[in-house]
């Protein structure tokens, strides 16, 4: 029996009778992007920021607001701080102004810069028991000569010389500088100097914090470089003793990612997230806690994958966890060892702050961008307390979102989202898109994307089928790990199971099916292009992996490739990723028109992948187009580029599916 659950009929009759618009790319870029900054210690006021983009200037502006949670009234903060945080029992708010750390009154008035340190960034203030602040921040540290310094007479030359790996990362070329962790103490006077906690190490610092007693700084760092960095995820937690200047590695022997250290309010415990296996970036992320007196370490949260966490009090931690294609907030009490999932519903909860008896959290779903909600800790119910985008949403027609449990070829139940157009008519036939998720291990949850926006696709009268195929978290470890070394195997069967099941519906036009996706989703589109057996009439691949051999030779974090596809192509026997599961080996089967999109600064999946796919399509006579953004990386971040992206995206789909 087909299991179908209708979740959200967002086109309520009260809106339908008055709505005049559907979502457009222009409206999407007008939405305010809400971020929770902090909640006052008494739980009465929330600070949040709203970023708004201007597509005419291609720039953004961020403003800070203070919200009276009980009254629901928000006022613009007088001082526009970045990284706002309540300090000194809520009487002050700290943050950065013009790159320096500043304090303002709780009402946003009387800003006072308390630092004068050139080149500082990434500020973090930790309130101390003695009434002062420890200020942590990063500054560039130069550990080697530049090419220009090595060739002083060739001042017009432009060259970089590399003799090791990790010469570029994500969207930038590495150079002779790293970000070092610095510390300063504020006790009432302007801070002008700081201490470099890393000496002459050529390593970038990760996240960092300090205890309230002012005795220890904790930070995470991957203290390897070059080839060793490229093939390993082994990141450790370090404790810097402020009194004697000594540094200790407390996670030596824990071989995966150890990150995000955080002290309990009394400083007696240190918690962090940890992945057990070196080289596996999508391993199950666990929460660990160390007793600072005995140095005893233990893993907590037996079953749950922890995305992020924060201390509630000295004996309890709140954490973010993926659950059945949603993101929820949980809590663990270390005394009783009781684990509780607080929130509920088909939503994605994101950033959160516990304050007194309150839980204030960011929440989004596929049809709504992030707003702030007040969550009842006992019932898990949530009340919306910011309304930044109501004026836009209240004038939109929105379709329903449905979740189905689809049977896979090996008899498993796969949660699949189906998103319908506004004013859906079951007596009509609609073109339908298979959405292929990236990651590869990132859930198709209730996320709200400003690029792969399901509401926008539905507004163009497409049905969207978004399966949580093999390899996604939130469905158990086995499901999450099943994709490794099987990229083109069962996950492709899962995709086809989802689209085939929904295509049985009379309202789906089987002659107008498309497949779209980015990153691993882009790989999936290339792979499906050669094995779909005529199902699809239009394809779109953004930053997809096309030729696994050439990709292995140009990507930067090689540990990802080694783990997920089985290692280098020169092995004997050669991993199936390069033969059976490399999309370029199936180009002879291509039939569907394809739009290829790529960014020139994408160093995770470099531009040659898109170029090879486009050239293959052109030489085979397959209708194809190449959309290239020379200054974008793995994502599209500039507003005007985003508008072009959406325009080309829908023009392509409309040309071949309508």
Instruction: Kindly list the catalytic residues.
Output: 519, 602, 634
Alpha-carbon span 212 to 127, nearest angstrom? 6
Alpha-carbon span 567 to 552, nearest angstrom? 9
Residue 158 has a CB neighbour count (10 Å cut-off) of 7
Alpha-carbon span 395 to 495, nearest angstrom? 34
Separation in Å, CA 367 to CA 61, 145, 228, 562: 24, 51, 43, 37
Across the beta sheet with 508-518, what order do the strands follow?
Answer: 3-9, 400-407, 413-419, 463-467, 430-436, 508-518, 536-542, 594-599, 624-629
| Longest Cα separation, the chain | 77
Q: What is the DSSP string of 569-636?
A: TTSSSPPGGGTTT-GGGGGGG--S-EEEEEETT--SS-THHHHHHHHHHHHHT--EEEEEETT--SS-
> Is residue 413 helix, strand or coil?
strand
Sign for the CA dihedral angle at 332, 337, 342, 345 comes to positive
Strand bridging mode 195-196 / 177-186: antiparallel
Phi/psi for 612 (5° steps) reads: -60, -40
Please report where in the chains the tokens 């684990």 appear, as a residue.
339
Separation in Å, CA 378 to CA 70, 343, 386, 567: 18, 9, 22, 48
Alpha-carbon span 631 to 629, nearest angstrom? 6
Alpha-carbon span 235 to 237, nearest angstrom? 7
Across the beta sheet with 45-54, what order do the strands follow?
Answer: 33-39, 45-54, 59-68, 73-76
Phi-psi sector, 652: left (phi>0), alpha (psi -120 to 50), beta? alpha
Sign for the CA dihedral angle at 170, 172, 175, 177 comes to negative
Phi/psi for 583 (5° steps) reads: -55, -30
Please report where in the chains the tokens 């996706």 appear, as a residue.
517
Helix 520-531 to helix 490-502 angle (10° resolution) is: 70
Alpha-carbon span 10 to 101, nearest angstrom? 43
Alpha-carbon span 171 to 184, nearest angstrom? 31
Segment (H or E) for 237: strand 236-241
Phi/psi for 273 (5° steps) reads: -100, 150
Phi/psi for 549 (5° steps) reads: -70, -50
Looking at 423-572, which runs of residues are DSSP E strands?
430-436, 463-467, 508-518, 536-542
Give the pair of three-digit tokens for residue 328. Answer: 């929820």
Sign for the CA dihedral angle at 193, 199, 204, 206 comes to negative
């Amino acid at each position: 029996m087909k299991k179908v659950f209708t979740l959200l009929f967002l086109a309520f009759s009260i809106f339908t009778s008055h709505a005049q618009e559907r979502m457009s790319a222009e409206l999407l870029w007008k939405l305010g992007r809400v971020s929770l900054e902090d909640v006052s210690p008494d739980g009465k006021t929330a600070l949040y920021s709203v970023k708004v983009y201007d597509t005419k200037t291609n720039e953004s502006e961020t403003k800070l607001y203070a919200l009276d949670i009980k009254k629901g009234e928000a006022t613009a903060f007088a001082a526009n701080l970045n990284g706002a945080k309540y300090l000194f029992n809520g009487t002050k708010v700290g943050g950065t102004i013009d790159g320096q750390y500043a304090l303002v009154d709780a009402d946003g008035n009387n800003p006072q810069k308390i630092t004068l340190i050139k080149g500082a960034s990434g500020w973090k203030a930790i309130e101390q028991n003695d009434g002062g602040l420890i200020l942590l921040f990063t500054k560039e540290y130069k550990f080697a000569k530049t090419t220009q310094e090595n060739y002083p007479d060739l001042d017009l030359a432009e060259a970089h010389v590399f003799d090791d790996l990790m010469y570029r990362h994500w969207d930038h070329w590495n150079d002779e500088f790293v970000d070092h962790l610095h510390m300063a103490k504020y006790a009432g006077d302007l801070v002008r100097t700081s201490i470099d906690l890393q000496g002459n190490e050529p390593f970038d610092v990760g996240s960092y914090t300090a205890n309230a007693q002012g005795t220890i700084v904790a930070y995470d760092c991957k203290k390897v470089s070059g080839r060793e960095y490229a093939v390993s995820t082994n990141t450790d937690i370090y404790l810097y003793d402020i009194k004697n200047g000594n540094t200790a590695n407390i996670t030596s022997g824990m071989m995966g990612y150890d990150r995000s250290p955080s002290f309990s309010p009394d400083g007696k415990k240190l918690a962090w997230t940890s992945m057990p296996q070196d080289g596996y970036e999508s391993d199950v992320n666990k929460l660990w806690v160390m007793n600072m007196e005995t140095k005893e370490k233990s893993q907590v949260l037996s079953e749950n994958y922890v995305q992020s966490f924060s201390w509630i009090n000295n004996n309890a931690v709140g954490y973010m966890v993926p659950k059945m294609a949603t993101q929820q907030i949980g809590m663990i009490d270390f005394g009783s060892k009781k684990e509780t999932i607080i929130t509920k519903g088909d939503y994605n909860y994101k950033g959160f702050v516990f304050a007194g008896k309150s839980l204030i959290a960011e929440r989004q779903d596929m049809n709504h961008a992030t707003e702030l909600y007040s969550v009842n800790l006992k019932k898990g119910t949530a009340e919306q307390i910011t309304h930044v985008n109501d004026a836009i949403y209240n004038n939109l027609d929105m379709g329903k979102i449905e979740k189905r449990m689809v049977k896979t070829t090996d008899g498993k139940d796969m949660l699949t989202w189906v998103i319908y157009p506004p004013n859906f008519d079951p007596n009509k036939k609609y073109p339908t898109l298979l959405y292929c998720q990236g990651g590869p291990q990132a859930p198709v949850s209730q996320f709200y994307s400003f690029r792969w926006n399901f509401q926008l696709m539905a507004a163009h009268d497409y049905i969207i089928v978004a399966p949580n195929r093999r390899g996604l978290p939130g469905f158990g470890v086995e499901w999450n790990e099943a994709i490794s070394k099987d990229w083109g195997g069962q996950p492709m069967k899962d995709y086809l199971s989802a689209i085939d099941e929904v295509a049985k519906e009379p309202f789906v036009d089987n002659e107008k099916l498309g497949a779209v996706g980015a990153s691993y989703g882009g790989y999936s589109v290339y792979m499906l292009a050669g094995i779909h057996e005529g199902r699809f009439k239009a394809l779109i691949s953004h930053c997809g992996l096309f030729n696994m051999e050439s990709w292995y030779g140009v990507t930067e974090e090689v540990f990802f490739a080694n783990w997920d596809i089985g290692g280098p192509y020169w092995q004997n026997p050669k991993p199936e990723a390069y033969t059976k599961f490399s999309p370029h080996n199936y180009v002879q089967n291509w039939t569907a028109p394809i739009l290829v999109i790529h960014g020139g600064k994408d160093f995770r999946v470099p531009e040659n992948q898109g170029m090879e796919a486009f050239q293959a399509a052109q030489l085979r006579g397959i209708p194809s187009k190449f959309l290239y953004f020379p200054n974008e990386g793995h994502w599209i971040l500039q507003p005007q580029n985003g508008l072009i992206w959406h325009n080309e995206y829908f023009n392509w789909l409309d040309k071949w599916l309508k």
